[in-house]
Amino acid sequence: MWAVAGGAGFALLEGLLGLLRPAQGVAYQWLDLPLSLLGWVLVATLLSLPRHGERLASGVLLALVLPVLLGSPWWALLGLLGLVIPKVGIAAFASMGLLSAWLHPRESLEQATHPELPGLMLITVDTLRFDHAPGLLGQLPVQAVSAAPWTLPAMDSVMLGVSAVEHGGGREGETGVTRPKGARLAERLKEQGYVNSAWVCNPHLRPELGFDRGFESFVHSDTWRDPVLLRFLVQDRMQRWTGEIPHMWRARDQALVSLAMRDVERGMEGRFVWLHILGPHEYLRDPVQVGADTGELYALAVERSGNDLAALLQAIPSGTRVLLMSDHGESLGEGGLWGHGTDLSDAQLLVPAWVMGMSLPMAEGPVFSWDLPGAVFEGQALTSHPQAPVTGVRGDPQRAALRSASGYQALDLSQGIVLDELDLGPLKGQLEALGYIGFPSD
Ligand SMILES: [Zn+2]
């Protein structure tokens, strides 16, 4: 009885919190309630099993499983408390869940202070190669040269408006990584009066690395540690077992898109919204299809991201300037290379860019990806350049080149700027565990 009442009450509160405060995790729907109810009743039942041995087993199980699922070691204590004093355990468990949900980043988009300013939206799709771009939107984009073949230095360039050779950020050393200085896009727009919000994923775009600078509201999906996310994790596991396509990665992207959609629906005037989704990056994380052709998996992931973005792109009000682009490409076997961050090559550096809501005079030939936000959002001139300075091979921070139509000519970085390394601390371990540091170059 206690278990059912506790589980039901918690599920209901979770639903209310999820509906009232969608930034708690993912946009919550009433249809989610039955599954959520089932999950919490199950947890509460395990904690209140009558026999000591059963309670011991379930308490240990929960103490092991919950911290993994919910991302915080505190949940282990609750599992143990539940096995010793069941009712107190359930109560503590529910309070902890509510507290964690309550304390999570709120949707805090403030009123636009300068509604006369045109709405601006930057959508970055991770790991999208230029030649796979039509799979995303079905139309040919502008070709841009990214500053670097992986997220951190490439997105530093997008936000700072200078090449990675110039800003020197994203060079990995013994303890951490170099972080560049300078005013970022959101900071510059804020000075103009924009109210900025961001919905992002990818550990390299975490606030610790400076990507939240200038944003009034910055929500990174890694901060979703609350019970609403638990439901998606359970769904993910279930779909793996039943052989359906697991969609945890896609669920996160869809959640980010739906949260950005809320901004769009409120009206874009005077706002700058940044959305980053990871879809194409995750094409090899699909265990159901191991053995399938890698290129096909990649193309499928790109297509899915296009489907995820379709409704949002349609909903963006006219008059909003939209820049949709990628941070870097992906090697799909060219020169025996796979992945990204491993080479200065067109496969990893050529990215697509689409501009909507304004006409941007385009020069012949590729443009610098780091020139695009300034051109679309700040009215700076956009020209094509015969040569692009590129760098950012992981494990070889001194490697740089000038990319031109005829190839890559080595560039000497010895005169380059030297920046202090930011000690990543525990984040380094997380990045390694997720495979974001030491990406295999096989
Ligand atoms: Zn990336």
Q: Which two tokens stand for residue 366?
A: 């590729």
Instruction: Tell me the chain's radius of gyration from C-alpha atoms.
Output: 23
Please report the domains of the chain, with CATH numbers, ordered by start residue.
2-103 (no CATH), 120-433 (3.40.720.10)
Distance 35 CA to ligand 1 centre (A): 33
Distance 257 CA to ligand 1 centre (A): 17
Distance 153 CA to ligand 1 centre (A): 9
Distance 277 CA to ligand 1 centre (A): 9
Q: Cα(427)–Cα(425) distance, rounded to whole angstroms? A: 5
Half-sphere exposure of 253 (CA within 13 A, CB side): 25
Q: Which two tokens stand for residue 396?
A: 């070889």
The average confidence (pLDDT) of the chain is: 78
Question: Do 157 and 164 touch, CB atoms closer than 8 A?
Answer: yes
Distance 32 CA to ligand 1 centre (A): 31
3-state secondary structure of 176: strand
- The better pLDDT of the pair 251, 247 is held by 251
Distance 202 CA to ligand 1 centre (A): 7
283 pLDDT band (50/70/90 cuts)?
Answer: confident
Distance 345 CA to ligand 1 centre (A): 15
Distance 151 CA to ligand 1 centre (A): 4
Measured torsion, CA atoms of residues 7, 10, 12, 18, in degrees rounded to the nearest 10: -130
Instruction: Kindly tell me if the per-residue pLDDT of 350 is higher than 90.
Output: yes
- Residue 423's H or E segment, with its range, is strand 421-423
- What are the tens digits of pLDDT across the range 368-379? 999 999 999 999
Nearest to 302 by CA among 277, 322, 323: 277
DSSP state of 435: T
Distance 3 CA to ligand 1 centre (A): 44
Query: What is the separation of C-alpha 339 from the centre of its chain, rounded to a whole number of angstroms?
Result: 18
Which range is most confident: 41-45, 75-79, 129-133, 401-405? 129-133
Question: Do 317 and 267 touch, CB atoms closer than 8 A?
Answer: yes
Distance 108 CA to ligand 1 centre (A): 27
Nearest to 422 by CA among 180, 162, 148: 180
User: What count of other Cβ atoms lies within 10 Å of the Cβ of residue 242?
Assistant: 9
- What are the tens digits of pLDDT across the range 198-216? 999 888 998 889 999 999 9
Distance 205 CA to ligand 1 centre (A): 9
pLDDT at 374: 95
Distance 127 CA to ligand 1 centre (A): 5
* Residue matched to tokens 């443009």: 367
Q: Cα(139)–Cα(377) distance, rounded to whole angstroms? A: 22
Which range is most confident: 21-30, 55-64, 304-313? 304-313
- The better pLDDT of the pair 343, 94 is held by 343
Question: Do 274 and 200 touch, CB atoms closer than 8 A?
Answer: yes
* Residue matched to tokens 């030297």: 418
Could you tell me the CA-to-CA distances from 239 to 69, 287, 296 in Å, in that order?
16, 11, 21
Q: Cα(40)–Cα(47) distance, rounded to whole angstroms? A: 11
- What are the tens digits of pLDDT across the range 421-433? 666 565 566 555 5
Distance 302 CA to ligand 1 centre (A): 14
**Stretch 268-283: mean pLDDT, rounded?**
93
Distance 132 CA to ligand 1 centre (A): 15
Instruction: Kindly tell me if the per-residue pLDDT of 20 is higher than 80.
Output: no
3-state secondary structure of 422: strand
Q: Cα(163)–Cα(390) distance, rounded to whole angstroms? A: 7
* Residue matched to tokens 């202070």: 113
Distance 209 CA to ligand 1 centre (A): 14
Could you tell me the CA-to-CA distances from 19 to 23, 71, 95, 363 in Å, in that order?
9, 22, 18, 47
Distance 283 CA to ligand 1 centre (A): 13
CB pairs under 8 A, 24+ apart, for 375-382?
A: 376/120, 376/321, 376/322, 376/323, 377/120, 377/122, 377/185, 377/189, 377/272, 377/321, 377/323, 378/188, 378/189, 380/161
Distance 288 CA to ligand 1 centre (A): 23
Instruction: Kindly tell me if the per-residue pLDDT of 234 is higher than 60.
Output: no
Distance 360 CA to ligand 1 centre (A): 25
**Stretch 406-413: mean pLDDT, rounded?**
86
CA distance between the termini of the chain: 56
Q: Which two tokens stand for residue 250?
A: 């896609």
Q: Cα(7)–Cα(151) distance, rounded to whole angstroms? A: 41
- Residue 282's H or E segment, with its range, is none
Distance 339 CA to ligand 1 centre (A): 10
3-state secondary structure of 207: helix
DSSP state of 266: T
The neighbouring-strand residues paired with 195 are: 271
Nearest to 222 by CA among 17, 439, 14, 426: 426
pLDDT at 340: 94
Distance 154 CA to ligand 1 centre (A): 8
Number of helices (H) and strands (E) in the chain: give both, helices first: 15, 15
Distance 249 CA to ligand 1 centre (A): 14
